A = this chain, B = another copy of it.
Amino acid sequence: MNLMEHKEECSRCSQDENRVVYAALLGLGTVGTGVYRVLKNQEAEMTQKLGAQVVLKRILVRNLEKAAKKVEDPSVLTNCWEDIRDDEEISIVIEVMGGIEPAMTYIQESLQAGKHVVSANKDLIAVHGKELFETAEAHHTDFLFEAAVAGGIPIIRPLKQCLAGNHMAEVMGIVNGTTNFILTRMTQEGMEFADALKLASELGYAEADPSADIEGLDAGRKVAILASVAFNSRVVLDDVYIEGITKITSSDIRYAREMGCDIKLLGVARNTETGIEAYVSPMLIPSSHPLASVNDSYNAVFVQGDAVESAMFFGRGAGELPTASAVVGDVFDIVRNILANCCGRIGCTCYKQLPVKKMGEVCSRFFLRFQVEDRCGVLARMTSIFAKYDVSVVQIVQKESKKAGQAEVVVITSGVREDDMNRAVAELEKAEAVLAVSGILRVYGE
């Protein structure tokens, strides 16, 4: 068949060559500006790539005047949501405003109006994902969110499509750039947490209120989303145990390095026979692990499946253009769905209802440091307390302390139920010869 004959036969080829798909952008902050720029950069070849031109017909902003400086044609700006909701020509809504409300209402109303939605809003999806997917499914619309986890790094689509032939056993990684920057500075320059946080703020890696990052909340949202997609079972933010990095000291990091490990804030989701484990915690990880060399504000997600074995996805987890890269990838996918008339082709993939464990039921390895009195029988007393709570000690080292009459005991355990460990530590804290528990850290791995 030659090309002429083909063009006559093929419905897609015979479509209007000037076909336009209208989109609206909600928000013109960092990510919104990035989306605007990336769409501009793609203008020249969009029609060849997709079969249609994506045109930003409307941009919803709070301050019209401020926003006018950021766009070529300020007439696309509006501060009125109804201008977008009620415009039937607009078939794609790109939500990059963040936060729960009004984003939730705007997305729901968009989907109900038959518009497809791309969102980078992890806060919302980690809590209200189920409702959003249900609305999308009911209205045969697409709801895509590649940018909600790990910025520009492709991870949602690879999990839903490329790795769909796997039973995923684990998905974990470094999913917060701010804390990874701070830990990298503490590791490489011996800085203390407060100084590294200050530097992160100065360099623009930390927000004015950094608490969602440093307390682990941001990573927790991403763990909820990753676990839901990887294990085909809904995990919400409330299911995720969260511990931040505010208590990590440079001496913790020094101790870790003595043992051939680095300290990273890891988001971990594991699919075990007894339920899903999902948590965020600073952890020791062997320096030889690929994640240990993911430094500065880079993110990386490591997955393990029964077919693919291990795979890692590495890149920029935030930032104007990297995040926009993921958003625009989703927009283009929707355009392809619109042209092929198959919107809603891949919706919610949570078809299982697996239980999520409480943190107390999770099995972890621990690294512990104790200050003890330097006298006979202390180690025996400690090991008997560990044994009482089923804590199996892999390594126990007594070191000299700078203070006379004191010693430091460093303990590494094998996998222990968290509840048991907590009880053991509580009893150790009360034990006569134990002066202080100066460090408790989880260790990644079996």
A162, B329: Cβ atoms closer than 8 Å? yes
A164, B290: Cβ atoms closer than 8 Å? no
Q: How far is the CB of A444 from chain B (nearest CB, A)?
A: 17
A324, B165: Cβ atoms closer than 8 Å? yes
A311, B315: Cβ atoms closer than 8 Å? yes
Q: How far is the CB of A257 from chain B (nearest CB, A)?
A: 17
Which segment of A340-348, A356-364, A374-382 sits at the interface? A340-348
Chain A, 275-324, CB within 8 A of any chain B CB:
290, 293, 305-316, 319, 321-322, 324
User: How far apart are the CA atoms of A162 and B156 in the complex, in Å?
Assistant: 9
User: How far apart are the CA atoms of A166 and B346 in the complex, in Å?
Assistant: 23
Which one of B138, B315, B337 contacts A310 once the chains associate, using CB atoms below 8 Å? B315
Q: How many A residues face the partner with a CB closer than 8 A?
A: 66
Chain B residues near A329 (CB-CB < 8 A): 161-165
A395 within 8 A of B: no
A164, B315: Cβ atoms closer than 8 Å? no
User: How far apart are the CA atoms of A331 and B161 in the complex, in Å?
Assistant: 10
Which one of B39, B49, B167, B309 contacts A232 once the chains associate, using CB atoms below 8 Å? B49
What copy number does this chain have within its complex?
2
Q: How far is the CB of A346 from chain B (nearest CB, A)?
A: 6
Chain B residues near A164 (CB-CB < 8 A): 49, 328-329, 332-333
User: How far apart are the CA atoms of A331 and B158 in the complex, in Å?
Assistant: 14
A336, B332: Cβ atoms closer than 8 Å? no
A152 within 8 A of B: yes
A120 within 8 A of B: no
B316, A311: Cβ atoms closer than 8 Å? yes
A154 within 8 A of B: yes
Other CB < 8 Å A-B pairs besides A165-B329, A308-B315, A308-B316, 9 of them? A6-B138, A45-B232, A45-B352, A157-B161, A158-B158, A163-B329, A166-B325, A290-B314, A309-B316
Pick 28 A–B contacts, CB within 8 A, sort by A. Answer: A1-B138, A6-B137, A6-B138, A10-B137, A45-B232, A45-B351, A152-B308, A153-B311, A154-B158, A157-B161, A158-B158, A158-B162, A161-B329, A162-B325, A162-B326, A164-B328, A164-B333, A165-B324, A165-B329, A307-B322, A308-B326, A311-B313, A311-B314, A311-B315, A312-B314, A340-B342, A340-B344, A342-B342
Binding site for B on A (CB under 8 A): 1, 6, 10, 12, 34, 38-39, 41-42, 45, 48-49, 137-138, 140, 146, 152-154, 157-158, 161-167, 232, 290, 293, 305-316, 319, 321-322, 324-329, 331-333, 336-337, 340-342, 344-346, 349, 351-352
> 8 closest Cβ contacts across the A-B interface?
A165-B328, A311-B315, A154-B162, A342-B342, A307-B325, A340-B342, A154-B158, A308-B325
